[in-house]
Amino acid sequence: MKRSEINAAIRTAETFMAQMQVHLPPFARWTPHDWEELQHGSEGQGTVHELAERQLGWDVTDFGSGTYARTGLCLFALRNGVPGVPGQTYGEKLLVVGVEQHTPMHFHWNKTEDIINRGGGVLAIRLQMSTKDGGLGTLNPVVFSDGRTVTVHPGGILRLHPGESVTLTPLLYHEFWAEEVPVLVGEVSSINDDAGDNRFLNPLGRFPTIDEDEAPYRLLVSDLTLMAAHQGTQ
């Protein structure tokens, strides 16, 4: 993805979240200059390391599609534990899902997540069980949604209106997009591990290669990871 495209996606997300009256933590607004200044002290270096280790902050991806508007996602990770480390055992994200902007069919090996429509339009979620070899199964997915058990036909679509939610369990394929109006989605889950817990139906790249055609507006989680790694070599 071009950095200019990433910058535009984050600006759009900030505007939409403000319209939804959602407030992000202070580090969501830090500029690259703020991050640079933060590294001068040991306390600031610890902050960079902590956020990078927990994979917190901005994340924009087109899943390697080259067509972000059709296949892509902009999200902000608010909190997350570290796999294998005692303590925080949960994660939370906010996702801005565009109209007919798809997050491709995938499941998680370990993560259980609640997907919550926090506002905007209708969120459509396609659901299908996986087979032992990672293919598409023929059993009816059964999910828990706001106090009721819902059965969906294989490949069927569950629609969440504002305020509604669904619990997605491991090995359950899901694909989602917004219908007619963008949606602000909340995700509350067990620990999120994008490096090892995602299984996409069609192999693709979770984190894009970035074409630095302009300066960053906000740093991404992947930028913080590189920054933390650089600190470790000094």
pLDDT tier at 174, thresholds 50, 70, 90: very high
pLDDT averaged over the chain?
94
pLDDT higher than threshold 80 for residue 230: no
Enclosing H/E stretch for 176? strand 172-190
pLDDT for residue 229: 82
pLDDT for residue 233: 54
Backbone dihedral region for residue 84 (phi beyond 0: left; psi -120 to 50: alpha; all else: beta): left
pLDDT tens digits for range 113-136: 999 999 999 999 999 999 999 999
pLDDT tens digits for range 22-36: 999 999 999 999 998
Enclosing H/E stretch for 151? strand 148-151
pLDDT for residue 65: 92
pLDDT higher than threshold 90 for residue 8: yes
pLDDT for residue 43: 63
pLDDT tens digits for range 136-156: 999 999 999 999 999 999 999
Judge contact between 119 and 164, C-beta under 8 A.
no
